[in-house]
Structure 1
Amino acid sequence: MADYLRIGEVASALGVSVDTLRRWEADGRVEFERQRGQRVLRSDRLPDLLARHPAPRSASSARNRMAGIVVSVKRDDVMAQVELACGDYRIVSLMSREAADDLGLEPGSPATAVVKATTVIVEA
């Protein structure tokens, strides 16, 4: 089956569930072949399917997420400093003022700190 992709592999490539692909097949949006009782798609048909149904953008590959509450937001003309209380942790983020405004960040609002860093160095 080197020239074929199983339905689960197609679902992963499209960023949808296997159930979604089964519904699409029932609706005529995609046509799978059957091999040994499994739905498969010829691998050379995947690019066309991806073009018609692009995968949704992943929100983030960050693994460190901490739910919290916005404690303070300090804004100037360009930047915003946002402080979150996330359980035992205090997280401070610097972002554009526009981003803080778009997210509606205000003291008391729920937010999630998503931490993704290759290097963090703090020295005293």
Structure 2
Amino acid sequence: MADYLRIGEVAQAVGVSVDTLRRWERDGRVRFERVNNRRVLPTDRLAALAASVPAPAGSGSSARNHLTGVVVDVRRDGVMAQVELSCGEFRVVSLMSREAADELGLAAGVRATAVIKATNVVVET
């Protein structure tokens, strides 16, 4: 079920509770599919949902953050890869070698952690 995220994974990725997501579904803000009677969201719809969630007022970050989330997009070319993660209220984009992205198995729907120190972002799985 790598093409889908369970409702709990979606909640963690966008930084809201499962109850909030259920309420949003009732209100028509999000539409979950059902697989084996469980609410799931196709990974390709996570980025749009995450973008619709406003960051809380006064949120900030400090150096040496470890932000766990879900990969929502990977763009590869001959040498480089751009990896986008949805980590709660944060969207993190990392540029790395294509080889590194391939070795980590980074693809939409994969859980990963962005380790941020100064201006460098290292992605761990």
Fold-level similarity (TM above 0.5): no
TM-score range, shorter chain: 0.3 to 0.5
TM-score by length of 2: 0.44
- Higher strand residue share: 2
Q: Which of 1 and 2 has greater Rg?
A: 1
TM-score by length of 1: 0.44
